[in-house]
């Protein structure tokens, strides 16, 4: 499988993490800076008026013409998200119509967050025939559920979606997906009433043990090879860098963590990491193998290896 086009769509509105923390009565500037240094997030992208349906509609309208032309013949549309206001019409059906994708396209919605892109790409690979394409959309409007969350979670989660076009090649892609629902209580969200909860220690313990193990168990990967990149879910800077250290990847260029002014937007961060490289990825990274590593809500974690063959790649900001 190869990725042909990739757009990360973010709200133009940026919120200072320092300001968020200082709004809490018992927090000091020293505490705020300590939090920022550890999470790596200085700003979060937030919608002015949080609405998933409105955001996806504005996102579709903001996509460049070249991207719109590329989706005309996709065979599958997959949306992976935990953010929604209504269950019908589904996100994938709305996007199929908005982008004028053929009615014959298979439209799938998945309730999946941080491992969303990895799982969606693995499903697309199993369903596509050689030469067929899929449109994968993943992301969250986290500000719908974090308004009343603890400050420790509020300073991590943000808003945004990624739109990616992938194409099936002649052979099956290398991937591994795992789920442990018994550990899912560590990270929970609800829509009605809107609420988000995270057991930070449990989530850290999970990522610190399972994610490096996941990559090391992927027998098709040579960690010392040069023609490859690792895109980790941008949970926060501390977690990503710790995983990179365990795997001996801290010297990877570009850096393993590049979401400091965006925030954690769920599964969109994995492929959004590539979009955040901008046009540089077209020049320097094409023909490399991209190992996408997702982990989080569910608890679900996984890895999929795809070829970078980008014709367009970047970030779009919308007034939402």
Q: Could you give the maximum distance between any two Cα atoms of the chain, in Å?
A: 58
pLDDT for the residue numbered 38: 92
Cα angle for residues 208, 209, 212 (degrees, 5° grid) = 80
**Which domains does the chain carry?**
1-320 (3.40.47.10)
DSSP secondary structure code for residue 157 in this structure: B
Distance of CA 59 to the CA centre of its chain: 16
Bridge partner residues of 291 (DSSP): 230, 305
pLDDT for the residue numbered 186: 80
pLDDT for the residue numbered 106: 98
H/E element, 317: strand 300-318
Q: Other C-beta atoms within 10 Å of 58: how many?
A: 16
C-alpha R_g of the chain:
18
What confidence tier does 166 reach under pLDDT thresholds 50, 70, 90? very high
Closest CA to 177 of 307, 304, 306, 3: 304
pLDDT tens per residue across span 213-254 = 999 999 999 999 999 999 999 999 999 999 999 999 999 999
Closest CA to 84 of 10, 44, 164, 141: 141
pLDDT for the residue numbered 18: 95
Do the beta carbons of residue 118 and residue 267 sit within 8 Å? yes
**Which residues 6+ apart lie within 8 Å of 111 measured at CB?**
81, 82
- For residue 130, pLDDT over 90 is answered with yes
pLDDT for the residue numbered 147: 82
Bridge partner residues of 299 (DSSP): none
pLDDT for the residue numbered 141: 96
pLDDT for the residue numbered 148: 82
Lowest pLDDT segment from 14-23, 30-39, 186-195: 186-195
Do the beta carbons of residue 268 and residue 114 sit within 8 Å? no
- For residue 171, pLDDT over 80 is answered with yes
pLDDT tens per residue across span 73-126 = 999 999 999 998 888 999 999 999 999 999 999 999 999 999 999 999 999 999
Query: CA–CA separation, 119 vs 79, rounded Å?
Result: 11
- For residue 193, pLDDT over 80 is answered with no
- For residue 203, pLDDT over 90 is answered with no
pTM of the model: 0.96
Name the token pair of 122. Answer: 């693995």
Average pLDDT over residues 58-72: 97
Q: Other C-beta atoms within 10 Å of 227: how many?
A: 9
pLDDT for the residue numbered 183: 82
pLDDT for the residue numbered 283: 86
pLDDT tens per residue across span 264-302 = 999 999 999 999 999 988 889 999 999 999 998 778 999
């Amino acid at each position: 499988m190869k990725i042909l086009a990739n757009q990360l769509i973010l709200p133009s509105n940026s919120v200072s993490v320092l300001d968020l923390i200082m709004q809490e009565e018992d927090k000091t500037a020293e505490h705020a800076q300590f939090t920022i240094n550890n999470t790596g997030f200085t700003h979060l992208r937030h919608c002015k008026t949080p609405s998933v349906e409105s955001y996806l509609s504005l996102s579709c309208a903001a996509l460049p013409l070249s991207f719109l032309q590329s989706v005309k013949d996709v065979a599958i549309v997959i949306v992976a998200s935990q953010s929604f206001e209504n269950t019908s019409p589904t996100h994938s059906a709305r996007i199929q119509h908005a982008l004028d994708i053929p009615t014959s396209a298979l439209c799938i919605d998945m309730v999946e967050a941080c491992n969303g892109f990895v799982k969606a790409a693995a499903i697309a690979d199993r369903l596509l025939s050689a030469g067929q394409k899929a449109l994968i959309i993943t992301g969250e409007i986290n500000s719908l559920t974090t308004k009343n969350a603890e400050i420790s979670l509020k300073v991590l989660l943000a808003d945004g979606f990624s739109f990616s076009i992938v194409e099936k090649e002649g052979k099956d892609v290398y991937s591994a997906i795992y789920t442990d629902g018994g550990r899912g209580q560590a990270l929970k969200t609800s829509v009605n009433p809107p609420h988000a909860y995270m057991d930070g220690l449990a989530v850290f313990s999970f990522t610190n043990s399972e994610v490096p193990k996941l990559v090391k168990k992927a027998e098709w990967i040579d960690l010392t090879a040069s023609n490859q990149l690792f895109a980790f879910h941008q949970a926060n800077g501390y977690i990503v860098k710790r995983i990179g250290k365990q795997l001996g990847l801290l010297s990877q260029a570009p850096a393993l963590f590049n979401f400091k002014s965006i925030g954690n937007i769920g599964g969109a961060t994995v492929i959004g990491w590539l979009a955040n490289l901008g046009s540089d990825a077209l020049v320097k990274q094409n023909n490399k193998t991209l190992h996408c590593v997702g982990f989080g809500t569910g608890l679900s974690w996984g890895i999929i290896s795809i070829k970078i063959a980008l014709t367009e790649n970047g970030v779009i900001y919308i007034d939402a």
